[in-house]
DNA sequence: CGAGTGATGTCAGTCCATGACATCACTATA
DNA sequence: TATAGTGATGTCATGGACTGACATCACTCG
């Protein structure tokens, strides 16, 4: 038997989600989370920068997927098509975890501070995609705007997908959002 | 002479901006801010929910302006035109305070936590505009997307306007961003 | 003139977050 | 196989953000 139980990070993530659901984010202390995971408060803060981050750490590899997809998109694609391809590529990751996504989102929706963090993560995704677009030769402003538009389309679609009682096709919802954005701007 | 010096809130705002600029957000304690304003820490927290909010409280009346502008837009206007009109209406408020905007933005750009708060405020603006659009009969999804697009256009334009050494026409920058968004989506 | 009222102060307490240092199973290598 | 790391974790101390409960006291109003 090894010295420590494996997957400390995963145990902390699970304990945190449980406690945030049971008593709400503010009522759950870091000490409690750590205890439930069989660790100490200090160790919690070695894995996660703060009490909120524990709900978002898993997103870090999404960013990589988005960036790689844009980097490998066909040269013929327009900026918004590259972004759409990236969003599409990540769909399976979400569809495998619909229930977890619902639980997690309910916790976030109940707390301003968590919504803040979610927006920051979204912003980071947009910035990373913009950067990837720039490396494909897209001008700075167009890259930023295309990435932001993509994030909006995804966010809108994701919100509907998460809150839907029966599971819908996330890809289709994303495409619908992009089409609607196109219609809105064209109509001006 | 009245019992207290007037404008406690304003004094706190100014003291906070000064200290955040002098030593950075993390190094400035609330106690110091309150002392510089001739008050106590406890009073700071009566005016502002937390240490970040002091930089954003002033935006609260912007929201009102956006909402009113959309409420009074001509019935013939499209959703995105209503949003553009709202953004346009707020331009003078910013143009009167270019230097303050620069100082404030420098502080925010230097601190993740403040960027988070800024995103939350932006999100609140988008939500308020979406709501105003809904009351003008726009469907829920279109209202949300149009408001978000408007916020992106504004954010992009504002970033350029703030960082520009010589003062540019913010209205023009906003219109340019909207045009670029239109081009990006149309090209898909 | 006395009873509020409201902005501010005082005090005690909780929890988040971090730095410094200790522990000790495991590993590598001489 | 002895020994010197190594790294994940624990322990301890501390500071600072935030909150609730209660005190103060110039001002106002009847």
- Give residue A167's pLDDT: 81
Q: Is the CB of A8 under 7 A from strand D?
A: yes
Percent of the residues in chain B that have a pLDDT greater than 70, as a whole number: 98
Is the model's pLDDT at B1 over the cut of 90?
A: no
Q: Is the CB of A1 under 7 A from strand C?
A: yes
Chain B CB contacts of A115 under 8 Å are 120, 123
Contact flag B78-A145 (C-beta cutoff 8 Å): no
Nearest CB to B145; choose among A80, A146, A181: A181
Let me know: does A145 contact B152? Beta carbons within 8 Å.
yes
Which residue reads 């002392």 in tokens? B35
Q: Determine the residue of chain B that is closest to A143 in CA distance.
A: B184
pLDDT tens digits along B66-121: 999 999 999 999 999 999 999 999 999 999 999 999 999 999 999 999 999 999 99
Is the model's pLDDT at B156 over the cut of 90?
A: yes
Q: Which nucleotide is nearest to B40 (CA to C1')?
A: C9
- Give chain B's radius of gyration (CA, Å): 19
Q: Which nucleotide is nearest to B51 (CA to C1')?
A: D17
Q: Is the CB of B91 under 7 A from strand D?
A: no
Chain A CB contacts of B79 under 8 Å are 184, 187
- Give residue A155's pLDDT: 97
Q: Show Cβ contacts of residue A106 under 8 Å, excluding neighbours closer than 6 positions.
A: A21
Q: Is the CB of A40 under 7 A from strand C?
A: no
> Which among B12, B145, B81, B34 is positioned nearest to A151, based on CA atoms?
B145
pLDDT tens digits along B118-136: 999 999 999 999 999 999 9
- Give residue A1's pLDDT: 59
Q: What is the Cα A131 distance to its own chain's centre?
A: 18
The separation, in Å, between residue A5 CA and nucleotide D3 C1' comes to 27
Is the model's pLDDT at B160 over the cut of 90?
A: yes
3-state helix, strand, coil in chain A (%, to 5): 75, 0, 25
Q: Is the CB of B64 under 7 A from strand D?
A: no
Let me know: does B126 contact B83? Beta carbons within 8 Å.
no
**Mean per-residue pLDDT for B21-48?**
98
Report phi then psi at B3, rounded to 5. -65, -40
Is the model's pLDDT at B20 over the cut of 60?
A: yes
pLDDT tier for residue B187 given thresholds of 50, 70 and 90: low
- Give residue A142's pLDDT: 96
Largest CA distance in chain B: 67
Domains of chain A: 8-54 (1.10.10.60), 56-186 (1.10.357.10)
Nearest CB to B141; choose among A148, A156, A185: A156
Is the model's pLDDT at B166 over the cut of 90?
A: no
Kindly report the nearest CA distance between residue B5 and chain A, in angstroms.
Answer: 33
- Give residue B2's pLDDT: 78
The DSSP 8-state label assigned to residue A51 in this structure reads T
Sequential pLDDT tens for chain A (188 residues): 578 899 999 999 999 999 999 999 999 999 999 999 999 999 999 999 999 999 999 998 999 999 999 999 999 999 999 999 999 999 999 999 999 999 999 999 999 999 999 999 999 999 999 999 999 999 999 999 999 999 999 999 999 999 988 888 999 999 999 999 999 998 65
């Amino acid at each position: 038997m090894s010295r420590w139980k494996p997957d400390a990070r995963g145990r902390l993530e699970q304990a945190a989600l449980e406690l945030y659901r049971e008593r709400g984010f503010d009522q759950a202390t870091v000490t409690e989370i750590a205890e439930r995971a069989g660790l100490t408060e200090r160790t919690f803060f070695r894995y996660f920068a703060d009490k909120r981050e524990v709900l978002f750490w898993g997103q870090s590899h999404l960013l990589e997927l988005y960036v790689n997809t844009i980097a490998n998109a066909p040269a013929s694609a327009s900026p918004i098509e590259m972004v759409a391809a990236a969003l599409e590529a990540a769909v399976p990751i979400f569809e495998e975890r619909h229930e977890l996504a619902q639980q997690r989102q309910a916790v976030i929706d109940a707390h301003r501070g968590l919504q803040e963090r979610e927006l920051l993560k979204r912003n980071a995704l947009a910035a990373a995609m913009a950067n990837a677009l720039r490396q494909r030769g897209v001008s700075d402003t167009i890259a930023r705007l295309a990435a932001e538009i993509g994030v909006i389309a995804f966010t809108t679609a994701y919100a509907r997908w998460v809150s839907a009682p029966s599971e819908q096709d996330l890809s289709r919802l994303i495409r619908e959002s992009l089409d609607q954005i196109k219609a809105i701007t064209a109509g001006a």
